[in-house]
Amino acid sequence: MGKSIILENANVITEEGRILKNKWIRIVDGKINEIADSEMTDSAGEKIECSGLFVSPGFVNMHVHSPMTIFRGIAEDVHL
């Protein structure tokens, strides 16, 4: 097994958009290897406490302004 990281007590957003609360996630060589309901032990890896934080699938942009492009040019000369 390569370099590993364990994320403890993370909230996971699945590809379907469901939220799984308080999961332990093992990442090996940059890829999710395992998601479990209980504590994982790994003496060689790094542990990161993630209480209150969310983990989402990779390459997902969760902050997008693209819907605003339909309003482009409508009120550029108006003061806020």
Q: What is the CATH number of the domain that holds 36?
A: 2.30.40.10
Average pLDDT over the chain, rounded to an integer? 84
* Residue 12 token pair: 């996971």
The confidence score (pLDDT) of residue 80 equals 63
Total count of domains within the chain: 1
**Residue at 76 is within a domain:** no
Q: Among 8-12, 32-36, 42-46, which is the least confidently predicted range?
A: 42-46
**Residue at 41 is within a domain:** yes
**Residue at 80 is within a domain:** no
Residue 68 CB: number of other CB atoms within 10 A?
A: 8
**Residue at 78 is within a domain:** no
CB of 38 closer than 8 Å to CB of 24: yes
pLDDT bin (cut points 50, 70, 90) of residue 1 is low
**Residue at 79 is within a domain:** no
Q: How far apart are the first and last CA of the chain?
A: 56
pTM of the model: 0.66
**Residue at 26 is within a domain:** yes
The DSSP call for residue 31 is: E
Amino acid at site 21? K
User: In which domain, by residue range, is 28 found?
Assistant: 4-71
d(CA 33, CA 40): 12
pLDDT bin (cut points 50, 70, 90) of residue 19 is very high
- Residue 80: which H helix or E strand, with range? none
